[in-house]
């Protein structure tokens, strides 16, 4: 596996390799293929963090899918602000549709709870959530994703779309902060 990386004066060590991510993403796509059926869902990616996972996942689907993105913000540095801001695209309608909500990570649960509530209010007929990383030990509000790539401990991670104050998204593997 790769060497540790340093961002903003913090050291991160290799945690989940690019190969592990690729293999698990392919497996998740197969699981979704079986669960979707004949409908054409909207694969809704949450920017910026989920862009790599979303792209790799939808390319592995064998069913037809529409693609859309929205943006949320809830982090400053390595801490959640506790507030979720959602930027909803003007041209996105989910009314009566099956939405596959694709997110990079669920920790506190606030973002996915807020997004699920918003999707229901906008008339989504069905919502299937899929997250690359799940941190159940960090949960502040109850939330259980429908599909999970990897369950991880409550530590700060970067890479494969996840950032630390704007840096690290481009790393092909996932790295965990070295405490101390």
Active site residues: 107
- Contact assessment for residue 161 and residue 69, using Cβ atoms and an 8 Å cutoff: no
Q: List, in sequence order, the alpha helices (H) in 49-100.
A: 51-60
Backbone angles phi, psi at 138, to 5 degrees: -95, 0
Alpha carbon of residue 68 to chain centroid: 14
What sign does the dihedral 65-88-130-3 (CA atoms) show? positive
Q: What are phi and psi of 26, to 5 degrees?
A: -60, -40
User: Cβ–Cβ contacts within 10 Å for residue 71, how many?
Assistant: 14
């Amino acid at each position: 596996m790769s060497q540790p990386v340093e961002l903003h004066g913090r050291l991160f060590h290799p945690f989940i390799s690019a190969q592990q991510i690729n293999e698990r993403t392919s497996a998740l796509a197969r699981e979704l293929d079986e669960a979707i059926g004949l409908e054409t869902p909207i694969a809704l990616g949450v920017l910026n963090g989920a862009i790599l996972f979303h792209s790799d996942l939808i390319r592995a689907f064998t069913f037809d899918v529409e693609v859309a993105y929205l943006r949320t913000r809830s982090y400053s540095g390595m801490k959640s602000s506790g507030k979720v801001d959602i930027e909803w695209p003007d041209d996105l309608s989910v009314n009566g549709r099956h939405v596959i909500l694709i997110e990079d990570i669920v920790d506190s649960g606030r973002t996915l709870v807020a997004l699920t509530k918003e999707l229901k209010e906008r008339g989504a007929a069905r919502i299937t959530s899929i997250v690359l990383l799940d941190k159940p030990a960090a949960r502040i509000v109850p939330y259980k994703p429908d599909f999970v790539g990897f369950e991880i401990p409550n530590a700060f991670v970067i890479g494969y779309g996840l950032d630390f104050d704007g840096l690290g998204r481009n790393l092909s593997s996932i790295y965990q902060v070295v405490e101390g």
